[in-house]
Structure 1
Amino acid sequence: MRFCDVTLREATQIPGREYTVEQTIAAGRALDELSLSLVQTGFPATGEHDTTVTQRLADVLENDVVAIARARDDDVDAALEADADVVEVFVPVSDRQLNAILGLSRDEAFESAQDAIDRVRDGGARPHLTLMDAFRTDADDVAPAFERFNVSITLTDTVGARTPSFVAGYLRSLAGLGVSLDRIGVHFHDDLGVATANALVAARLGVDRVDVSVASLGERAGNPALEEVAVALEADGHDTGLARDQLIPACRAVLDALDEPVDPRAPVIGEAVTSHESGLHTAAMLEDPATFEPYDPETFGGERRLLFGAHTGREAATRLLERADKEPTEELIDALLDRLAETEEPIELDEAVAIAEQL
């Protein structure tokens, strides 16, 4: 399975967000540390920013650079002139969007898509196809696209309307119609709060590609979070092919480049999610960290923080004294707990052990 990171394009669609070319390129370089298959850099037909970003990243990134284009000659030409490795042509496929956006029948939209795909090939890039609003379109109307187009095809839940059970059923319906799931890409939005879950369902059913964005950055509620999808799959024993030890540092570097804050409680990348202060937790984790962790944060370039202070219990104090090579008598335990309670804020493990050594 391949990951396509869409952070650089999707983040610019958040109202009020404007990133400089240099910010976007710095974020793209950070993503390159992850060994992603694809990085979607922008929509060159929209102007100089996306054109420049695509051109410059195409020169330096190890992974393939993807530019998007409507099924129009000028859009395709702009993407080709930006030196994209892959030009992803997108067309609506649902009746609602065909009528509202193009005023065309589905067959007419497919004809325009084929013309655009041929133009991409003639221009020396690889074509991909995205079918907008596919998950609100009958599977019977989507399946013929896989016979008609000999390219990678991404199906989108454009308005974030679907849930994991629906996604699983829909993909199985396509498989029942003869569509090989390893030809399918998926693109979800988080309007119902289940984008990451939808991506995981699709990945486990065997799709070829999953679109993700760092910290779910994207229009409206965003997209499946790269870090969440990657860690969840790895925790289940699935080899994502990513540079695991770079995951957390690279995601934080992307957010830093874009001047986006990191929520301390954000799954995987937030500092709070691998920080532990509860007396019961820290006591057990001094012996076996997996007691209260779903994964080892160090595997993904993060760190575990065990904190000690007023909430530290007797079991944790005992473990600290043992680490300090002290006999954990009742008197020493009481003394250590008193010292920890006096700290203005919780302290790290090394500092707590140093206090125990002084007793």
Structure 2
Amino acid sequence: MLIDTTLREGAQMFGVRMGLEERQTVAMGLSCMGVEEMEVGWAGLEELEAFCRWSGRRLGKSAISVWSRCRESDIIEAARIGAGRINIGVPASDEHRRKRLDITRRALIARMETVIALARSYGMDVSVGLEDASRADAKWLGKLALKAENAGAFRVRLSDTVGIWTPTKVMKAVSELRERLVIDIAVHCHDDFGMGTANAMAALDAGADWADGSLLGIGERSGLAATEELTGYLELIDMSGSYRMEGAAPLCARIARLADLAVPRNKAVVGNDIFACESGVHLHGMARDPNLFEPYSPESVRGARRLGFSAKSGRSLLKTVLGNKTSADADSLLEQVSDHACRTGRPLTMQECSELAGN
């Protein structure tokens, strides 16, 4: 299952501002995609109360959660605005514990237990986010997670705060906790070294119940795992039957405009050119069966297949355009196609190749 945090982590991206209307539009889009949970902000966020009042039953089966610090004041504020699920951040590494909170391990456990008890007294489902888990001592991380479970949390969320996990490392961390815990395990994998989505998928394979993502992976620094990539893989490859991918590209385009980002044309799942092809080997295979070079159909994500021709396409493929004409004709056409592609800075369409061939 997935937790989309576009409206919390994504909203923390440098320079990004999200008003109530934008938050509502994004939330509706995520609900249509079938995301199981949305982390919609943090305790104290302006307009969060209005968003929680608005959401009601509009978001279908998608659960709504709010992030908070490990402070009683945040819990009281979250309860005031009607939050039913809360994600409490608890620093797991000694560096974060000492430098941010300046308390002992024993004191941290006591504070966490008090805050969990308070949230539960308000009727909230409690998830505990173990921050900087990737740099925490493994034994201490396990103890902290077990204390959260015993205090009544329904989930612990391991955060790779600085994106240093690899798939093998996150699988090891999740597997070790899975042996000790009964409650759910989630991961929050940052993308500082480009492994956010891979780490999130590895964690799910290792037994994690939840993985965080945000649309286009936006968030602090280089962001985190991308929701559209996670839902895409789970739906189109694992065939989970849980997600609807048709609206992913337009929703990501909206986020790109909001965050002033340019979506690369080869961006996984939602890029404009992910079904575009001009190399000879690929074009030849596509003519036989598109599945040879496509992991899923363009229709599944409302994409479009585009075939282009240039010097990369090769002489033999151009014979398809020429029909039964000679190899010499193919050589001539390849030269014309190559010249035209160089001058225009783009591959030619099938129709343009046919016109050059005189067909």
**Partner of residue 271, structure 1:** 272
1:149 matched to which residue of 2? 151
Partner of 1:61: 59
Equivalent-residue separation in structure 2 for 1:264 and 1:18 (angstroms): 25
191-200 or 312-321: bigger deviation: 312-321
Residue 324 (structure 2) aligned to one of 312, 328, 348: 328
Letter in 2 for 1:174: L
For residues 354 and 123 of structure 1, the distance between their equivalents in structure 2, rounded to whole angstroms, comes to 71
CA distance in structure 2 between the partners assigned to 1:207 and 1:333 by the alignment: 55
Equivalence map 1:163-182=2 (5 Å): 163-176=166-179, 178-180=180-182
Structure 1 residues 218 and 58, CA gap change in structure 2 (3 angstroms): farther
Q: 1:353 to 1:121 in 2, by over 3 A?
A: farther
Count of aligned pairs: 349
More helix per residue? 1
1:48 and 2:46 matched: yes
- Offset of 1:97 from its aligned partner? 1.3
Q: Residue in 1 aligned with 2:81?
A: 82
Amino acid at match of 2:59: L
- 1:185 — aligned with what? 186
TM-fit CA distance, 1:207: 0.8
Of the structure 1 ranges 155-164 and 214-223, higher mean CA displacement relative to structure 2 is found in 155-164
Matched residue, 1:225: 226
Letter in 2 for 1:18: R
Report the 3-state secondary structure (helix = DSSP H, G, I; strand = E; otherwise coil) of the residue aligned with 2:273.
Answer: helix
Aligned twin of 2:33: 34
Q: Residues of 2 paired with 1:28 and 1:132: CA distance? A: 25
Give the CA RMSD over aligned residues. Answer: 2.9
Which secondary structure does the structure 2 equivalent of 1:271 belong to? Answer: coil
1:102 is displaced (CA, Å) by: 1.5
Q: Could you say if the C-alpha distance between residues 352 and 39 of structure 1 is closer, same or farther in structure 2, counting changes exceeding 3 Å?
A: farther
Deviation readout 1:233-287 (Å, 9 max, x if unpaired): 4565352621134333433344345553312132222223321122332232122
Once residues 265 and 24 of structure 2 are traced to their aligned partners in structure 1, the CA distance between those partners, rounded to angstroms, is 25
What pairs up with 1:206-217 in 2 under 5 angstroms? 206-217=207-218
- How far does the alpha carbon of each residue in 1:283-310 deviate from its partner, in whole angstroms, 9 at most, with x for none? 3212211232333333233222212345
Gaps of at least 5 residues in structure 2 are none
Can you give the 5+ residue segments of structure 1 that lack an aligned partner in the other structure? 322-326
Map Cα deviations across residues 316-348 of structure 1 (whole Å, 9 max, x no partner): 334446xxxxx4323875686577554734344
Identity across aligned pairs (percent)? 29
Q: Distance in 2 between matches of 1:283 and 1:41?
A: 47
Residue 60 of structure 1: SS of its match in structure 2? coil
Evaluate the alpha carbon distance shift between residue 92 and residue 25 of structure 1 in structure 2; reply closer, same or farther with a 3 A threshold. Answer: same
Residue 111 of structure 1 deviates from its aligned partner by 2.8
Normalising to structure 2: TM-score of the pair?
0.85
More displaced stretch, 222-231 vs 34-43: 222-231
- Quote the offset at 1:4 in angstroms: 0.3
